[in-house]
Amino acid sequence: DIQMTQSPSSLSASVGGRVTITCRASQTITNSLNWYQQRPGKAPRLLIYGASNLKSGVPSRFRGGGSGTYFTLTITSLQPEDFATYYCQHGDSFGQGTKLE
Amino acid sequence: EVQLEQSGGGLVHPGGSLRLSCAASGFTLRSYWIHWVRQVPGKGLEWVSRITTDGRTRFADSVNGRFTISRDDTRNTLYLQMNSLRAEDTAVYFCARDEGSGTPLDFWGQGTLVTVSS
């Protein structure tokens, strides 16, 4: 089974700032990697699919990159509503999550 | 509008059973793969099970043999039957859809809390 390792587990940032979250796969997964945002008490929400494709309606300050085994989620110009937990996913494997605070 | 409406959670004793429902609106459930993902409060996401468009099911090792999935196409509803429940099954359970292997989980239910406790 492919394992997804996400880092860091938590991240401090400020409104207007920029952050990058990384996700590594235990073996190559080409670009089959998705990113989700989860706010407290809510279901996860798809942000990016296929490593770098923004879901319709998601702000362009969210950017996904990478391929093979290494992937990134970058958020620029942080807004108050971006402070949440982010997960990467491939198949039936999720990363451990990154809490942005 | 695409929606997945969940119901059926609650408190159950260890060894007991519970059935969760996931009712779809705005799309035909049998045209998508439907997954169950759970989350222990304060922890990360754990994939639990899925059913494909042609009815094939798969389960995580932690629930295999105890959980089953069924689908009622007339009600456009999916069910997760959970038997022999354990304390470690306590979690919020989400249903979510995708279009098949390698595609993202693009819509999620609101989640339902299952608490296994004596």
Contacts of B49 in chain A (CB under 8 A): none
Q: What is the residue whose two structure tokens read 């408190």?
A: B11
Q: What is the pLDDT of residues B50-99, one digit of tens each?
A: 999 999 999 999 999 999 999 999 999 999 999 999 999 999 999 999 99
Chain A partners within 8 Å of B110 (Cβ): 42-43
The tokens for A95 are: 């990363």
Predicted confidence at residue A14, as pLDDT, reads 96
**B102 — pLDDT class (breaks 50, 70, 90):** confident
> How do beta strands B112-116 and B10-12 pair?
parallel
Mean pLDDT value of segment A41-62: 96
Q: What is the pLDDT of residue B101?
A: 84
CB atoms A46 and B105 under 8 Å = yes
| Tokens 């990467």, located at residue | A88
pLDDT at position A30? 86
Contact residues, chain A, for B47 at CB < 8 Å: 92-94
C-alpha distances out from residue B102 to A37, A62, A90, B78, Å: 19, 21, 7, 21
- Which pLDDT score, from 0 to 100, does residue B43 have? 96
Provide the pLDDT for residue A17: 96
Please name the amino acid found at residue B44: G
Mutate to test the interface with B, among A2, A71, A92, A99 (most CBs of B within 10 A): A92
Helix then strand then coil, in percent of chain B rounded to 5, is: 5, 50, 45
Question: Testing the interface with A: which of B36, B43, B105 to mutate, by most A Cβ within 10 A?
Answer: B105
Closest CA to B111 of B22, B1, B14: B22
Q: Which of A32, A50, A97 sits opposite B44 (nearest CB)?
A: A97
Give the mean pLDDT of A8-13. 96
Residue A99 is inside which H or E element, if any?
strand A98-100
Given 3-state DSSP classes, what are the helix, strand and coil percentages for chain A, each rounded to the nearest 5?
Answer: 5, 50, 50
Q: Is any Cβ of chain B less than 8 angstroms from the Cβ of A34?
A: yes
Selection from B50, B21, B16 nearest residue B33 by Cα: B50
| pLDDT, tens only, B1-52 | 999 999 999 999 999 999 999 999 999 999 999 999 999 999 999 999 999 9
A47 to chain B: closest CA residue: B106
Amino acid at residue number B79: Y
Q: Is A54 exposed, middle or buried (0-12, 13-18, 19+ CB in 10 A)?
A: middle
What pLDDT, on a 0 to 100 scale, did the predictor assign at position A1? 85
The encoded tokens of residue A10 equal 């938590």
Question: Which residues, 6+ apart, have CB-to-CB distance to A2 below 8 Å?
Answer: A25, A26, A27, A29, A90, A91, A93
- Asked if A43's CB is within 8 angstroms of B104's CB, the reply is no
How many beta-carbon pairs below 8 A join chains A and B?
51
The answer, for A45 touching chain B at a CB cutoff of 8 Å, is yes
